[in-house]
Copies of this chain bind each other. A is one copy, B any other.
Amino acid sequence: MNPKIGVVSVGDELLEGMILDRNSNYVARELTKIGCEIIRVVQVRDKIEEIAEVVSDLLKISNILIISGGLGPTEDDLTREGVAKALRRKLVMDEKILAKLEEKLKDHGLLCLENVKKQAEIIEGAEILENTVGTAPGQFVKHEGKMIFILPGPPVELIPMFERYVLPRVEEMIHEKYTTRIYRFIGIKEATLEEKLKDFLYSDGRIKVSTMIDTYVGPTIRLTVRNEEIWRLERMEKMIKERVGEYLYNVGDKRIDELMVERMLKEGITISIAESCTGGLVASTLVNFPGVSKIFKGGVIVYSNESKAEVLGVDRKTLEKFGAVSERTAMEMASNVREKFKSEIGIGVTGIAGPTGGTSEKPIGLVFFAIDREGQVQTRRERFHGDRNTIRMRAVYSVFDLLRKVL
């Protein structure tokens, strides 16, 4: 049996709905990957009694607890006290940590106030987990055969500490090692995918199958199998590739935008973009990736007919005859932006994102794409469903799918 995990996030701001609990989500995902069972995730307020109650309850049903938040210097930070109470242990001042804290603060020209000293308090018998980013150290306690990790709440502090201290120690507890692979699809609906695979996808009881949607991109399938039986996974992977390989853009963690940017960077292929309904979203998705300035030459957002003609040089006759939302306009946008920015690839996107502006002939969600690679032009017509933002985001990923076809 692999370990059962309880995850606890501490903080009034969570219970008041002021921030999303991204820590639990991260911890749960990473521990699931290595074969743990996450049996409960709990958010609890900054109250000693309540923290102690949750910790005691979860210790009854899990082998390992991951607790985050409430380790700071303010009066509201009571995780240390709550966990100590649950374990019936004392808090002791750690002189080494105190000295370090005082030094850190002095570097910033600050005095070490009473409440800051709280961060040097350690649950009796706990091991100190060093925090290289912030001031509050984490703690690790073994208690009646169970493991308890206490980590700071800010994700920039929690993530490196989780990777350094939690993952390796939990991994040691995993008796059955598992392999997980994620299959990422684009251009196919989840129902269609399921239909095409249903006769074998759930046929092997030794493989755990989860399907989900990567919002705006497409369906994903996650297969998990014990390492000794990886041949089962590979047998299934072969069948998946045979049946729906053309929609499978990656086996792994990376999404299509990251993959395509990597490919263009590697091959030094330059690109420019002319956007209408996506209004800069394709460009800003590209610019998310560092180093992209080597290949991204620039873009134009031509939101009106006037700017399509005047700024980008789309033929007024094209706009009159076919309309701004048409294959021909997309083609001219792609070719003209490519010429303007002197890039190898030019892309044009024009469509109707809604919520108004649709007609029976050109409904909301209709988007035309064109890609011009050194004079060779390909086009695509899509009809997306959903609200304004969904339509725009789907259009963005469709651009990357189009790139996949020409790269």
Contacts and interface: CB of A to CB of B under 8 A. Distances in A.
A40 B42 contact: yes
A16 B39 CA distance: 9
B17 A32 contact: yes
Interface in A46-60: 50, 54, 57
A30 B16 contact: no
A332 to B, nearest CB: 16
The list of the 8 closest CB pairs from A to B, nearest first, reads A17-B29, A279-B287, A280-B280, A280-B283, A17-B28, A280-B284, A41-B43, A299-B301
A248 interface: no
Given A14-B28, A279-B287, A283-B284, 7 more contacts: A15-B39, A17-B26, A42-B42, A42-B43, A279-B283, A293-B304, A307-B341
A205 to B, nearest CB: 14
A18 B29 contact: yes
A297 B287 contact: no
Contact of A30 (B17, B44, B277): B17
A370 to B, nearest CB: 18
Contacts of A353: 287
Contact of A301 (B50, B212, B298, B307): B298
27 contacts: A12-B210, A13-B212, A15-B41, A17-B29, A17-B32, A17-B38, A19-B212, A20-B20, A20-B21, A21-B25, A39-B50, A40-B54, A42-B42, A279-B283, A280-B284, A281-B284, A281-B287, A283-B301, A287-B303, A288-B388, A290-B388, A296-B303, A297-B307, A298-B304, A299-B300, A300-B300, A300-B311
A216 to B, nearest CB: 14
Interface string A272-286: 010101111111101
Interface string A383-397: 000001100100000
A355 B18 contact: no
A342 B13 CA distance: 46
A275 B300 CA distance: 10
A400 B147 CA distance: 48
Nearest to A304: B297
A17 B26 CA distance: 6
Residue among A18, A44, A281 with the highest chain B CB neighbour number at 10 A: A18
Residue among A26, A31, A40, A303 with the highest chain B CB neighbour number at 10 A: A303
Nearest to A337: B311
A98 B297 CA distance: 58
B287 A210 contact: no
B13 A210 contact: yes
B18 A21 contact: no
A27 interface: yes
Interface in A348-380: 353-356
A338 interface: no
A118 interface: no
Q: How many A residues are at the interface, by size bracket?
A: 35 or more
Contacts of A287: 277-281, 301, 303, 353, 392
Contacts of A307: 297-298, 341
A361 to B, nearest CB: 19
A32 B14 CA distance: 11
A20 B22 contact: yes
Contacts of A38: 15-17
Interface in A293-324: 293, 296-304, 306-307, 310-311
A255 interface: no
Residue among A296, A297, A301 with the highest chain B CB neighbour number at 10 A: A301
A184 interface: no
Given A38-B15, A42-B40, A341-B307, A354 B298 contact: no
Nearest to A300: B300
A177 interface: no
